[in-house]
Chains A and B, each alone.
Chain A
Amino acid sequence: MTYDPEVKYQKSHEWARKDGTLFTVGISDYAQDSLGDVVFVELPVTGKVVKKGDAFGVVESVKAASDVYAPLSGTIVEVNSKLKDDPSLVNKEPFGAGWFVKIQASNPSEYEELLSATEYEAFVKGL
């Protein structure tokens, strides 16, 4: 199980990577491992405005379909269209090619409220 130290996490198992006020968002290695083989990812349209905690997409495996929640408020400016043809990227590279969306944050300070890799790892181990 990997916990990318370069990103921050929330308890519903999404991560966010900071690049100025632009944030790349995906689901954690723990999340993809619990879901099992991902067979479908539903992503929002670009331009959609989300609040922190809003469900913006769905990830579906043979076991379950789960909502994916925004770790920050802002506007969806890009979605990973590769996931449509190859949802297994979420399993193979959850922190890399398996990213979901990019959010232009309206309140970048929300990033500070997210969990560090160590905090998130401790949270997961307590589950």
Chain B
Amino acid sequence: MTTRKHRIRTVEPFIWELSAPGRVGASVPEPDVPEYPLPEEIPLRRDLPLPEVSELEVVRHFTRLSRLNYSIDTHMYPLGSCTMKYNPKVNDLAASLPGFSEAHPLLPEDLCQGSLELLYRLQTAIETLTGFHSVSLQPAAGAQGELTGVLMIRAFHQDRGDTKRTRILIPDSAHGTNPASVSMAGFTAEQIPSDKRGNVDLAVLRERCDDTVAGLMITNPNTLGLFEEHIEEVTSIVHRAGGLVYGDGANFNALLGYLKPADVGIDVMHFNLHKTFSTPHGGGGPGAGPVGAGALLAPYLPGPVVRRLEQRSQEQPNFREQVEKQKESLHRTGHSVDRTGLPEVYSEYFTLVYPEKSIGRVKAFYGNFGILVRAFTYILQMGGDGLRSVAEHAVLNANYLKHLIEKTYRIPYERPCMHEFVATGEVAPGIHTMDIAKRLLDYGFHPPTVYFPLIVKEALMIEPTETESRQTLEAFAEALLQIAQEAVTSPDLLHEAPHDTPVGRLDEVRAAREPILNRRQTEKL
């Protein structure tokens, strides 16, 4: 269709369309060494359609594209379940300190004690906030953290020869990635329904728990934004059946400083640093999904993790020898990583080790280090009281926003929410949640998460986070209320939205049915 093609192309041409034969971005000087032909086994392809453009054209092309971006630095982003809070710039400042940004991942331990100390202190901070015995910073994202946790549960049962446990139970209000993690780890996922208040249906849970259950994966607050009121009962039912409990930490922002997951019977849990601890989300930077575990599962954590060896008193002047001895004993058991020389004088020493029964590595090197620096900076900046107030304001903001719109947008579960809430988009006949989401773009707001969780029809899942001001919350509520009016007075305005964005309503169905995956295929458009 020409109109659509025209519309997309006027936003910004493809870089190939800017290409002119022979134009280059950089001039390579004449060689001052003898030339040799490339060996024949290295094929040089001359048929690749690479764009020929100048440096200035490249800079302008990508700068123009970047200005089409929507981001948390420009607008509110109430994407439920994603905790799109502001990412303080001081995080980036810390991560760009040359000592961190230029540290080589293969440095021997005694040349990167500062980086190791940061990892150690981040581990400890997460342990303090969650009550867990130990933390591994290895997993690179939330879903990888889930898989890690489930693999630890599997290793635990296998160690005891308990191989008949093949089922993992997942409430229908859990995160969407949970069943996939379970399948990848070789278990069967089984859904547990919610009751009328949005909690796990305890009667069904009791009925399904037996000696074939390996564990339960629970998200608390759940994806309805509700606190699981019987969480201790849930975990003890699973424990009594011999299963273990995995906590999905995606919504941990609501609990900071108020609830330690280990205290309510969670055995293993991941934390999304890119949600709760203000590091950038996908596209803005790699993720990080550290995993914490109670005493039972801590030996199975992925490695390496950082341990601190310390000089206990003045009567130990020969700390260097002490460290040497401790490291030697770690080497003998195969748990220590570094085998290089040791420091001259330290009162403490940080070393990389594998937990006793570690499931091994899940990521190269030490997780996404730059992201870990950002999260640690955030934790230091906020302090314990600050993190507690993060949870308070996240919950307060969500409840205030819910209050502002609940007369117009039906809320299926009538009780105070935590950091987010689920409303339905059925505000007028023939209007769907997608129409409201698209119309919000015209008002300058990123839409909430839509059509999730699946247990609410036409779901709009709204999470304002603690970093939005009262004025912004009110402006967002006002936009939602105006859209609900438009839905009655001029429904086509919604059906055809968005109107003021670089491209209009995209044909998502055709894109999914007939995906175009490279530029040459666009000629078919």
Q: B457 and A62: CB pair below 8 A? A: no
Q: B451 and A63: CB pair below 8 A? A: yes
Q: How far is the CB of B184 from chain A (nearest CB, A)?
A: 15
Q: B451 and A88: CB pair below 8 A? A: no
Residues of A within 8 A of B450 (CB): 63
Number of interface residues of B (CB under 8 A): 9
Q: A37 and B454: CB pair below 8 A? A: no
Q: A64 and B513: CB pair below 8 A? A: no
For the complex, would chain A's binding face be called helix, strand, loop or mixed by DSSP majority?
A: loop
| B102 contacts partner chain A, Cβ-Cβ < 8 Å | no
| B40 contacts partner chain A, Cβ-Cβ < 8 Å | no
Counted as pairs of residues, one from A and one from B, with CB atoms less than 8 Å apart, the total is: 20
Kindly state the separation between the CA atoms of A34 and B451 in the bound complex, as whole angstroms.
10
Kindly state the separation between the CA atoms of A63 and B457 in the bound complex, as whole angstroms.
11
Q: A88 and B454: CB pair below 8 A? A: no
Kindly state the separation between the CA atoms of A66 and B509 in the bound complex, as whole angstroms.
17
Q: A87 and B513: CB pair below 8 A? A: yes
| B17 contacts partner chain A, Cβ-Cβ < 8 Å | no
Contact of B512 among A34, A39, A127 (CB under 8 A): A39
Contact mask for chain B residues 485-525; partner A; CB cutoff 8 A; 1 contact, 0 none: 00000000000000000000000110011000000000000
Residues of B within 8 A of A66 (CB): 454
- Chain A minimum-CB-distance residue to B432: A36
Q: A62 and B512: CB pair below 8 A? A: yes
Kindly state the separation between the CA atoms of A60 and B457 in the bound complex, as whole angstroms.
16
Kindly state the separation between the CA atoms of A34 and B459 in the bound complex, as whole angstroms.
12
Interface residues of A in 55-69 (CB under 8 A from B): 60, 62-64, 66
Residues of B within 8 A of A39 (CB): 509, 512-513
Q: How far is the CB of A88 from chain B (nearest CB, A)?
A: 7
Interface residues of A in 19-70 (CB under 8 A from B): 34, 37, 39-40, 60, 62-64, 66
Kindly state the separation between the CA atoms of A74 and B512 in the bound complex, as whole angstroms.
33
11 A-B pairs (CB sep. < 8 Å): A34-B457, A37-B509, A39-B512, A39-B513, A62-B508, A63-B451, A64-B451, A64-B454, A87-B513, A88-B513, A127-B457
| A residues apposed to B, CB below 8 Å | 34, 37, 39-40, 60, 62-64, 66, 87-88, 127
